[in-house]
Amino acid sequence: MSAFSNEKHFDAVEYLANRPQYSQTFIDLIRTWHDKGTAKYDDVLDIGCGPGQTAYRLAELFKNTVGVDPSPVMLAAAQDPAVPAHLGVSVPTGHQLSFKQSKGESTGLPDGSFDLINAATSAHWLPWQKDASGGAIWKEMARLLRPGGSLVFAGYVSVVLPGHGLITDRMDEFVRSPEGFALASDRSDELNPHMIGYTFYKTMPPPPEPYFDASQTTMLRLCVRFNDNFHITASDIPPVPDWARSAGLSAGPDTAVVTKKGSLRSLALFLRSTSAWPRYVDEHPEEKELEKTCEDLPFRLLEKWRREEEQKTGKLLDLDEEVEFVYPTAMLFARKR
């Protein structure tokens, strides 16, 4: 698990500023799932916590929250006193939040330490390629959980700009192409982290018996777009169970749980926040200087896509127009036996 752990061009503060936030519905889904199990709110582990987007939200619910991440840069950002205000949260008096540098698959934490394990937009970075059955990873998750404990793996894929289909499609094409960021360009390897994401966890090995109760494992796939960029069809969208609808999925699988409001121009900043951008800058060092004047590749691409959309629609496009970005999301819910 090392997506951002050694990226010299990575900026955790910019990552936090330009990534979406997890909605209250997202948190309510976690809470409702956990209430179906032990409903104990003592200890929670947030794997791949990054700068703390979900760790702080979980700390509002649990008495003790531990966030782990392999990146010291991410952890330093997570401990910035300004983060709670940015996220709009307040950790209650008496609740503890701590951070530890470690990989999610080898935390070194004691057996049976947690009531719930969460991994938000990080589970695909676990070493599935070295563990094709997932047995070792799932065994480690079960080791850390208490009996009846809950697990939630969630991840969003790319971004949808309602009303701007051409720009949405162009970005998808770029991030997937070998000439671009080449995310999941090797489609033959189903356990490639980006393939796990772009299949909405379809290729991730499921939590197995005897560690987890397979009869309770639930998958949600929300706001999915069907095109050549995603290896998923309508038949891969499971029905939304009643407990999830009661938690806020009133629109069923069309409910957005990961969103962000911002200008169209901020799409370029989102591209900069991806794990692929620091590696791209390593290969194209001239881009680092161009970042200072917003003439780097993400901004050049956005300008190109803007012109294409204007030509297609015959309407001028204001890059400062505020839009709501919607992030297609997969959520896996499991219960330890």
- For 66-88, the pLDDT digits (tens) are 999 999 999 999 999 999 999 99
All structural domains of the chain: 12-335 (3.40.50.150)
Helix (H) or strand (E) holding 166: helix 165-176
Measured on CA atoms in the order 282, 284, 290, 296, is the torsion positive or negative? negative
| Tens digits of residue pLDDT in 19-59 | 998 999 999 999 999 999 999 999 999 999 999 999 999 99
Amino acid at 263: S
Q: Is the peptide bond before 84 cis (omega within 30 degrees of 0)?
A: no
Look at residues 189, 258, 226, 185 and name the one whose alpha carbon lies nearest to residue 29: 258
Q: How confident is the model at residue 3 (pLDDT cuts 50, 70, 90)?
A: low
Length of the chain equals 337
Tokens of 44: 């929670």
Residues 306, 307, 312, 318: is their CA dihedral positive or negative? positive
Q: What is the pLDDT of residue 277?
A: 87
**10 Å Cβ neighbour count for 9?**
15
Lookup: tokens for 32: 């409702």
Q: Find the helix packing angle between 165-176 and 297-313, rounded to 10°.
A: 140
Q: What is the pLDDT of residues 150-167, one digit of tens each?
A: 999 999 988 899 889 899
